[in-house]
Amino acid sequence: MAALTRTPIDPAALTARVQAPSRGGVASFVGLVRDHHAGLAVARLEYSAYDAMAEAECARIVAEAEQRWTAGIALAHRVGMLEVGEAAICVAAAAAHRDAAFAACRFVVDEVKRRVPIWKREVYADGTDAWVDPTAVEGARPAAMHERQEAG
Amino acid sequence: MTHTAAPTVSVHVMLFARYAEIMGADALALELPAPATVAHVVAALRARPGGAGLPVRPLCAVNLVQVPPEHPVASGDEIAILPPMAGG
């Protein structure tokens, strides 16, 4: 099942997809667009992806988690322009017991951030924008900042 | 003895996010002397306009799988140069 989506994520639908009579616990995580980063006011985020590899990598991560924790996993990640408060990522992990559900959910979120080729461009309240580099020094002002081209 | 051209490798390169911006393209075709590795692809890109902004050892994928710089490339391969991942 495709993980990337250009339309809003419905966390309840993901949770429903992994529920089963044998699974006593569902842990879920919803990552939302935040209104600030490194001291700057963020207006919106634009996510882009290497679609084919991102889908393949998400499928590998889900398969690894499902096997390791005997869990059912549903994963969705938005691409495109997102406003503050919108869900960028949602993971639902269902397992027989809560420990496995929590662990599987945490693993999938962490591995998506580490391995899946998705990038985000922050658009700031002052009209400037920058690509986010999680490997850059914490708290540093984004280096790739430039003025937005205003049409007209 | 027959006179033939030196063997080459033709690959399809994909660039994303900031790397696509600095290179001014999100896809391009490269022809390299054979045998070639991912490191040779990166070196060829770094020699092009805007290429100095690429790291010497960026994350790279060949045919949708992340690989180290010494990974060999063959004609028809899709080589992706990946900025630091920022999903989630």
Per-residue H/E/C for A99-117: HHHHHHHHHHHHHHHHHCC
Distance from CA of A95 to the nearest CA of B (A): 23
pLDDT per residue as tens digits for the range A61-85: 999 999 999 999 999 999 999 999 9
* pLDDT of the residue at A143: 45
ipTM of this complex: 0.90
Whats the size of chain B, residue-wise? Answer: 88
Beta strand pairing call for A40-49 and A25-32:
unpaired
* pLDDT of the residue at A151: 37
* pLDDT of the residue at B5: 76
Could you tell me the sign of the dihedral formed by the alpha carbons of A11, A12, A14, A19, in that order?
positive
Distance CA A34, CA A37 (A): 8
Chain B CA closest to residue A108: B88
pLDDT per residue as tens digits for the range A32-71: 999 999 899 999 999 999 999 999 999 999 999 999 999 9
pLDDT per residue as tens digits for the range B35-58: 999 999 999 999 999 999 999 999
Among A131, A135, A145, A148, pick the best mutation site for testing chain B contact (most B Cβ within 10 A): A131
- pLDDT > 70 fraction of chain B, expressed in percent and rounded: 95
